[in-house]
Amino acid sequence: MLIKSCKLIDTFADKFFHLSQFSLYMESNAKIFSSTGSQYLEEKIAKKFGEPLGKVNIQRFSDGEIYVEFKESIRGRFVFLIQSTYSPSDNLMELLLMIDAAKRASAYKVIAVIPYYGLARQDRKDRPRVAIGSKLVANMLTAAGADRVITMDLHAPQIQGYFDIPVDHLESSAIFIPYIENLKPPNLIFAAPDVGSANRIREIATYFECEMVICDKHRKRANEIASMVVIGDVTDRDVVLIDDLCDTGGTLAKSAGLMKENGARSVRALCTHPVLSGNAYKNIEESVLEELVVCDTIPLRGECSKIKVLSTDELFAVTIRNAFENKSINSLFMRSRMANKK
């Protein structure tokens, strides 16, 4: 009986040892690496994830050529490479070289974490003899050796279909909904910047059990609007305009002005990606917007008293953790919030 008990204890101890070793393996087998374009965000994500950033050497030769070298072993590891591919295009080339270097260093899985997916506005062939930039980027990431992509608020959700590898497409609603809930505007109404984004904004409006309007605009060319009308009534309402990105800020400023002309009490905008090129900071500052709330998927390159930044670090850290541990990320999406609310 004593011998049998000892064997049981030994078996349990052996299993406990292996479980402990497995847990230790799980904790140390994921590495997050910093790129030069998103270092401001990567440090926060790594801290939330609970692991220090990996060591990588990224240099540029005098002619602009990029050199990448991992300074520690990543053999057999899950490697997460964080880089937003905003302009200039060096950010994309740097990410591709990091993916290639990781694959050649025998990483088990290479996951490209792209908070802002550049060239996403080139998502279709809408006129003769044009490129489909977002499809080209998808092909290059796959060819370089990426095993998975984690990104946020693609300009067109259908871009996920350009990939033959898994894509985790996060939504900014996980960041913006708590902000709006804390804000508690009395006569809330949501505005979609165009007809194409109406379905996404309708989900948020349904969550808050309020109405929505649509800004219908016609463009002369990129970044230049010929005409705009508001479909719906905004009289004496607190308007929240939601969009996936803000580029020059011209559309946003014009939309806010039009809402005010139509009787809106206040107008604020929530945009995921602060591209903010050209005269964007001036346009936002001089607009009738109460505030422009953005995420930190792209670093701000100027100052504006009306711009407020919300961090995505926890959202990406949780997604990276779940991808590493093969867990679902369904709880991070709007549909999960809607189900829980019911």
Query: Looking at the predicted structure, is the pLDDT value of residue 46 above 90?
Result: yes
Q: What value does the mean pLDDT of the chain take?
A: 88
Give the highest mean pLDDT range of 84-88, 129-133, 183-187.
129-133
- Is residue 146 domain-shared with residue 276, that is, in the same domain? no
The DSSP letter of residue 106 is T
Q: Is 57 a domain residue?
A: yes
Q: Is 2 a domain residue?
A: no
Q: Is 127 a domain residue?
A: yes
- Is residue 321 domain-shared with residue 255, that is, in the same domain? no
Q: Is 338 a domain residue?
A: no
- Is residue 194 domain-shared with residue 307, that is, in the same domain? yes
39 versus 166: the higher-pLDDT residue is 166
- Is residue 89 domain-shared with residue 231, that is, in the same domain? no
- What's the number of domains the chain is made of? 2
- Is residue 84 domain-shared with residue 148, that is, in the same domain? yes
4 versus 116: the higher-pLDDT residue is 116
- 217 is a catalytic site residue: yes
- Which of 44, 48, 103, 217 is labelled catalytic? 217
Q: Angle 53-55-58 (CA atoms, 0-180°, nearest 5)?
A: 115
- Is residue 13 domain-shared with residue 142, that is, in the same domain? yes
Confidence (pLDDT) at 22: 40
Range 271-279 average pLDDT = 96
Q: Is 146 left (phi over 0), alpha (psi -120 to 50) or beta?
A: beta
Distance CA 160, CA 164 (A): 9
Q: Which residues of 178-207 are buried (b: 16+ CB within 10 A; e: fewer)?
A: eebeeeebeebbbbbbbeebbebbebbbeb
Q: Is 65 a domain residue?
A: yes
**What CATH number does the domain containing 58 carry?**
3.40.50.2020
> Which residues constitute the domain of residue 290?
173-311
Q: Is 4 a domain residue?
A: no
Query: Looking at the predicted structure, is the pLDDT value of residue 12 above 50?
Result: no
How many other CB atoms sit within 10 Å of the CB of residue 62?
5
pLDDT in tens, 296-307: 999 999 999 999
- Is residue 120 domain-shared with residue 201, that is, in the same domain? no
Distance CA 71, CA 65 (A): 19
Q: Is 85 a domain residue?
A: yes
For residue 43 the two structure tokens come to 């440090």
- What confidence tier does 88 reach under pLDDT thresholds 50, 70, 90? confident
* Sign of CA pseudo-dihedral 21, 23, 26, 27: negative
Q: Under DSSP, is residue 111 helix (H, G, I), strand (E, B) or coil?
A: strand
- Is residue 185 domain-shared with residue 208, that is, in the same domain? yes
Lowest-pLDDT range of 78-92, 196-210, 309-323: 196-210
- Is residue 99 domain-shared with residue 184, that is, in the same domain? no
- Is residue 44 domain-shared with residue 145, that is, in the same domain? yes
- Is residue 155 domain-shared with residue 207, that is, in the same domain? no
Q: Is 218 a domain residue?
A: yes
pLDDT in tens, 318-339: 999 999 999 999 888 866 666 5
- Is residue 178 domain-shared with residue 194, that is, in the same domain? yes
pLDDT in tens, 159-182: 999 999 999 999 999 999 999 999
